[in-house]
A and B are shown apart, each in its own frame.
Chain A
C-alpha cells in the first residue's frame, strides 16, 4: 500500500534529529507569534466565524459571484480567461506571452502556478521564468520545490543558502550573513524587474463587487513586477472570491496574523485596472475545484485562504518537513486538497495526521481539517 511512501520519507527526515528539532522549533516559533497576535484580538472568535460564513456563502453562490466578478473586471478593462484545468491555464499564459513576443518573465509567489507546473512548462517552450519571492527564488536556484506555502525555503539553513548564492549569485564563499544574502538577491532581481515585460502574480482575494483583486506580500515583489511589466497576468483559483470589498477587512485581519503573527502584510496591493498602454489579464482556474465543491464532506476545504497556520502547529508536519508530502501543498490542508487532485498519487497523505485537531482550532476560516482527514 502507498501508505508507506510518505512515512518512509518522513523517516529519512528523522534520521537527522538535530535538523528535525531545528525545523520544529523554527516553525513553532511562528505558531507562537501567531498566538500572541491572535490572543491580542478580543473578537478573534467572531472574526473566524465571520470569515468562515462569508466563505461558505460565497462557495454556495459561486456561479453568481464569478459572473459578477467577470462583469466588473471587464468593465475595469481587465481581460478575463477561464481555465478548466492546469493545461488550459498554462496554454493561456504561453499564448499571451507568444502573442506579445515575450521570452522572459518574472513571477511572484503563487501556489496555483506551482500546482500547474507552470515553470517547467514555460521553460520547455523557451520562456525564462524568474521567481521574485526570495524564498521561491532560493528553492528555484536549488532546483527544489517549496516545502511550505508561506515560507517556501523554511527547510533550508542560512549556511545552505549562502552556499547556493555563492554558486549562483557570486556571493563570498562561506558567508551566510542574512543581510548580505538578501542584498545580493535584491540586486540580481532588480535587473530582472527592469527588463521583464510580463509579470505573473497570484491572487489572495478577488472582490466580486468591484472586479478587483488583492495580492498580499511582505517583499513588495509582486507590485514591483506587475507595475514595471507591460502585461500583468494574475492567476486565481475560483474559490478566491469574496462578495464585497468591505469583507476584505475581515480576511486581511485573519490572514497575516494566522500566517506569521504580523497584524497585516507589508503590502496588500489592490489591482483593478491596467495602466495606460498596459494589459491586465486574470485567469480563473477550476482545476478540480468544482469537483471538490460537489463533495459534501470536503467542500469545506475550499474555504482555505492559504495562511499556513495549520502547518505551523501540526506535530506531524513540524517533524517531517514539507517535502515528505511530495505535493505542492503539503501540511494538513494539503493532505485534503492533494488527494482531490490525484487520489492514487496522494493516497498516503491523509494518514499523516495523529488527528489531534490543532489544525482545525488554529484555522482562521474554521475548516474542520482533522475531521476531513
Chain B
C-alpha cells in the first residue's frame, strides 16, 4: 500500500498539492466547526466538511449582522465614552 502511494506521488509530481496535504487541511478545518468537531475524521467526508464549513461561515455572518443591528440600536440611546474606556480596559487586562 505504501509503495502504491509513493508511486502516485511521483506520477503527480507536477501538481505540488498532495492528497495527504489536503486531507490534513480538511481535518484541521473540521476541528474548527462545532457541528462536526467531535466526529472521527474517517467518518466525515471532505465534502461534508466543506458543506458544514459553508454553513458555519454563513451562521457567523448572520451573527455579525445581528450584533451590528443590536449595537446600532444601543448606540442611539447611550452616551458611550465611559463605556468604551471600561471595554478597552477589560479586553486588555
- Asked if A and B bind, the verdict is no
